Amino acid sequence: MLEIRNLSKTFYAGTVNEKTAIDRLNLQVKDGEFITVIGSNGAGKSTLFHLIAGSLLPNSGNIYLDGQEITFLPEHKRARQIGRIFQDPMRGTAPCMTVEENMALSYLRAKKRNFRFGISKEDRAFFQEQLAMLHLGLEDRMKSPIGLLSGGQRQAISLLMCTMVTPKLLLLDEHTAALDPSTAQKVLTITQETVQKNHITTMMITHDIEAALRLGTRTIMMGGGKIIMDISGKEREEMTVPKLLEQFRERSQDSVFSDRMLLSEK
């Protein structure tokens, strides 16, 4: 479904600040897989997502989505096939526009239809039905500017906007990191339910190792721009946080972890 071949990305090449963010990385993602992505700061996680989404171009290597090469496809064209939610709840929505206006823009773009003046009764009813499934009471706030909503509400709507028309791939870039623990858990629950219901191929970056092992179907750990560990099935089911960290240290010869990863260790 998603195939990455020998992908590399270097910043500031040829200077004293040269930094290899992605180093000849290979990855195959099957249709319907939910992969959680973990690793220390600077491991290359977000850079990988930027390359998949098209906001960065690689120095070498190839990216294929559903059999089509998208390595150098413009970002706005990939957006019709790839949904993405960022860590910052302020990104991905237009704060001065209403909830229903934001949803209309996303829906019409995904459906490859031109934006028209006004929102039809049919579309409005569809948006209301979709919002009701979040169980956050947002179906009664469709006329409210989305900028007035809480971070958790905005992230839930962003998720809905990305999945109203099922994308081929969904990228979640630490989409709960800026939320308080209770709200983050609600958004994660909504995420898992939405992904399972619509059978969406998903990749999710997280610093919460416990959640990474609990959610989804497969976990990859990155380090130095490479995939250091790739676990699924029984191996993943039996994996514990301390065991995962120890194996990562052995395989990568790297004992440096971000504070958030260490704090998630149980």
Q: What single string gives the DSSP state of each residue in 63-105?
A: EEETTEE-TT--HHHHTTTEEEE-SSTTTTS-TTSBHHHHHHH
pTM exceeds cut of 0.85? yes
> Across residues 157-185, what is the average pLDDT?
94
Mean local confidence (pLDDT), 76-93: 92
Instruction: For residue 83, name the pLDDT band (cuts at 50, 70, 90).
Output: very high
Rounded to the nearest integer, the mean pLDDT of the chain is 91
Confidence of residue 225 (pLDDT cuts 50, 70, 90): very high
Q: Among 20-24, 201-205, 208-212, where is mean pLDDT lowest? A: 208-212
Residue 246 has a pLDDT of 87
pLDDT in tens, 105-131: 888 877 766 655 578 899 999 999 999
Q: Confidence class of residue 251 from pLDDT cuts 50, 70 and 90?
A: confident
> Is residue 172 pLDDT above 50, yes or no?
yes
Q: Is the pLDDT of residue 76 over 50?
A: yes
Taking the CA atoms of 241, 232, 86 and 197 in sequence, report the sign of the dihedral they define: negative
Question: In this predicted structure, what is the pLDDT of residue 254?
Answer: 56
If pLDDT is split at 50, 70 and 90, which confidence band does 259 have?
A: very low
Is 165 or 259 the better-scoring residue by pLDDT? 165
Distances (CA, A) of 107 to 48, 137, 194: 26, 20, 16
Confidence at residue 203, expressed as pLDDT on a 0 to 100 scale = 98
